[in-house]
Structure 1
Amino acid sequence: MNKKLSVLFAIALALETVIPSLLFSVKAETSSKNQSQAVQSSVKPQVSFDPPGSGKPDDSAGGASRGGGCPQEVISTGGCVIPLIPSNREGLTTTGHPTFFIYLPQNSAQEVFFSLVDENNKNIYQTKIPLTGKSGIIQFTLPENAPALEIGKNYQWAFVAIRQQGLRPDSPGIQGRIRRIETDSILMTQLQNITPLERAALYGKKGIWYETLASLAEARKLQPTDADLVSQWEQLLKSVGLEAIASQPLLN
Structure 2
Amino acid sequence: MFSKKTQLKKISTILSLMFLVISANSYPQQVMAQSSKGREGLPGRRVGGGTRGECSFGDKKLIALIPESNLLLTTSPKPNLFIYLPPTATPKTLEFVLQDEQENIMYEKSFTTNKYPGIVSMSLLDQSSLPQLAVGKKYRWFFSMICNPDKRENDISVDGWISRVKLEPNIAQQLESATSTEQVNIYANLGIWQDALVKLATLRHQNPRDPQLTAKWLQVLQALKLEVIAQEGIVDANLNEISSAVR
Q: With the length of structure 2 as denominator, give the TM-score of the two structures.
A: 0.69
Which 5+ residue runs of structure 2 have no aligned equivalent?
1-33, 52-57, 237-247
- In structure 2, the partner of 1:83 is 64
Query: Does the alignment pair 1:150 with 2:134?
Result: yes
Q: Give the secondary structure class of the aligned counterpart of 2:194.
A: helix
* 1:189-227 residue CA offsets vs partner (Å, 9 max, x unmatched): 222264432221111122111101111111111111001
Which residue of the partner structure matches residue 19 of structure 2? none
Cα distance per residue 1:150-190 (max 9 Å; x no partner): 11101111111134636722211100111111122222222
Distance 1:54 1:167 in 2: 45
AA paired with 2:84? Y
**Aligned twin of 1:183:** 167
**Contact residue 138 and residue 251 of structure 1 kept, 8 A:** yes
Cα distance, 1:134 vs. partner?
A: 1.0
Specify the alignment match of 2:245 in structure 1. none
State the alpha-carbon separation in 2 of the partners of residues 109 and 79 from structure 1.
16
In the other structure, the counterpart of 1:208 is 192
Provide the C-alpha distance between the structure 1 equivalents of 2:108 and 2:151, rounded to a whole number of angstroms.
13
* Aligned mate of 1:134, from 97, 103, 116: 116
| Alpha-carbon offset, residue 78 of structure 1 | 5.4
Q: How many residues align?
A: 192
Give the distance between the partners of 2:157 and 2:75, measured in 1 at CA: 25
For residue 169 of structure 1, give the secondary structure of its aligned residue in structure 2.
helix
SS at match of 1:101: strand
2: CA distance between counterparts of 1:173 and 1:200?
28
**1:69 aligned residue:** 49
Q: 2:156 aligns with which of 167, 172, 178?
A: 172
Amino acid at match of 2:188: G
The structure richer in helix per residue is: 1
Whether the 8 Å contact between 1:78 and 1:244 is mirrored in structure 2 is no
Q: How do residues 209-228 of structure 1 correspond to structure 2 at under 5 angstroms?
A: 209-228=193-212
Instruction: Say if 2:65 and 2:226, in contact at 8 Å, map to a contact too.
Output: yes
The one-letter code of the counterpart of 2:63 is I
Separation in structure 2 between the aligned mates of residue 127 and residue 115 of structure 1, nearest angstrom:
7
Is the strand fraction higher in 1 or 2? 2
* Identical residues among aligned pairs (%): 31
Change (3 A) 1:217 1:78: farther
Runs of 4+ displaced beyond 4 Å: 53-58
The structure having more radius of gyration, on CA atoms, is 1
What's the CA shift string for 1:75-98, capped at 9, x where partnerless? xx8511110011121121111111
SS at match of 2:45: helix
Contact in 2 for aligned 1:109/1:163 (Cα 8 Å): no
- Matches of 2:179 and 2:148, distance apart in 1: 42
Matches within 5 A, 1:15-164: 65-70=45-50, 79-107=60-88, 108-143=90-125, 144-145=127-128, 146-163=130-147
CA separation in 2, counterparts of 1:153 and 1:177?
Answer: 10
TM-score, length-scaled by structure 1:
0.68
Tell me the secondary structure at the aligned position of residue 133 of structure 1. Answer: coil
